[in-house]
């Protein structure tokens, strides 16, 4: 099987990941890496992460994809959804690690716990958690096109090429997903 051919409606990245899963195909992994690394880097940078950390996270996400490829099931998700989920989980791990409380004995004496920065960070964390819950409330089909359009920076035409879905279906899923997200996130306005 040539991993660039679409087969059974699967996108090329999904076929590449299947080749990695089934045959530990290094060429398919290189294509997968070349496809997702810039998109993941953009996602990390947009979340406020520094360039060096973003590059480290992308390397870690792609290494995890290589190591855990045997867990990938194309019947449950496309490669993009699966890899973005790994990336999102890695971001959550980093936030948790950065937000761990510092023991009082190690805290600088001039640190003001009630500072505006701490309140802003807390508000941002709460909004991010609410957004994650809202995204999780979407159907798998809606979440996939939203992730491809907004996290993967893909045009509707590129999504159509990857999924084989009609353009109208893609637009409809995005519109319905955005309506649902708007409803779920109305109190953030």
Same-domain status, 82 and 142: no
Residue 108 is assigned to a structural domain of this protein: no
Residue 114 is assigned to a structural domain of this protein: no
Q: Reply yes or no on whether the pLDDT at 149 is more than 80.
A: yes
Q: What is the pLDDT of residue 188?
A: 59
Same-domain status, 144 and 78: no
As given in the structure block, the two tokens for residue 24 are: 């530990």
Bridge partners of residue 10, in order along the sequence: 7
Q: Tell me which residue has tokens 């519109």.
A: 175
> Could you report the per-residue pLDDT of 86-114, keeping only the tens digit for each?
998 888 888 777 765 656 655 555 555 55
Residue 65 is assigned to a structural domain of this protein: yes
Same-domain status, 143 and 95: no
Same-domain status, 59 and 21: yes
Residue 134 sits in which domain range? 123-189
Question: Are 155 and 1 a contacting pair, CB within 8 Å?
Answer: no
Same-domain status, 80 and 8: yes
Residue 56 is assigned to a structural domain of this protein: yes
Choose the most confident range, by mean pLDDT, from 24-38, 82-96, 135-149, 163-177: 24-38
Which residue from 22, 23, 30, 32 is spatially nearest to 83, judged by alpha carbons? Answer: 32
Same-domain status, 54 and 141: no
The distance of Cα 46 from the centroid of its chain, to the nearest Å, equals 12
Alpha-helical segments (H) within the chain:
12-23, 26-46, 51-67, 79-99, 116-136, 140-146, 156-163, 167-184
- Model confidence band, residue 133 (pLDDT cutoffs 50, 70, 90): confident
- 32-46, 69-83, 127-141, 153-167: range with lowest mean pLDDT: 127-141
For the chain, give the mean pLDDT: 82
Same-domain status, 28 and 84: yes
Residue 116 is assigned to a structural domain of this protein: no
Q: What's the CATH number where 27 sits? A: 1.10.1740.10
- Model confidence band, residue 178 (pLDDT cutoffs 50, 70, 90): confident
CB atoms within 10 A of CB 21: 19
Q: What is the pLDDT of residue 57?
A: 92
- DSSP 8-state assignment for residue 24: -
Q: What is the pLDDT of residue 108?
A: 57
For 180, the 3-state DSSP assignment is helix
> Could you report the per-residue pLDDT of 34-66, keeping only the tens digit for each?
999 999 999 888 888 888 888 999 999 999 999
Q: What is the pLDDT of residue 40?
A: 93
Q: How far apart are CA 184 and CA 182, in angstroms?
A: 6
Same-domain status, 82 and 9: yes
> Could you report the per-residue pLDDT of 113-127, keeping only the tens digit for each?
555 566 666 666 777
Bridge partners of residue 7, in order along the sequence: 10
Provide the domain count of the chain. Answer: 2
Q: Reply yes or no on whether the pLDDT at 5 is more than 70.
A: no
Same-domain status, 88 and 19: yes
């Amino acid at each position: 099987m040539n991993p660039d051919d679409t087969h059974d409606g699967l996108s090329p990245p999904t076929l590449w990941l299947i080749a990695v899963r089934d045959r530990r195909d290094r060429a398919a992994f290189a294509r997968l890496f070349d496809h997702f690394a810039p998109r993941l880097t953009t996602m990390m940078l947009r979340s406020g992460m520094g360039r060096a950390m973003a590059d480290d996270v992308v390397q870690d996400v792609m290494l995890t994809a290589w190591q855990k490829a045997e867990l990938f099931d194309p019947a449950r998700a496309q490669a993009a959804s699966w890899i973005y989920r790994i990336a999102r989980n890695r971001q959550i791990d980093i936030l948790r690690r950065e937000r761990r409380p510092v023991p009082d004995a190690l805290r600088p004496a001039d640190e003001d716990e009630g500072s505006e920065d701490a309140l802003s960070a807390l508000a941002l964390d709460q909004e991010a958690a609410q957004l994650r819950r809202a995204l999780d409330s979407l159907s798998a089909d809606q979440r996939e096109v939203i992730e491809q359009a907004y996290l993967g920076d893909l045009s509707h035409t590129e999504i159509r090429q990857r999924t084989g879905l009609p353009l109208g279906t893609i637009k409809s899923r995005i519109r319905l997903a955005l309506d649902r997200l708007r409803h779920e996130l109305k109190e953030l306005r």
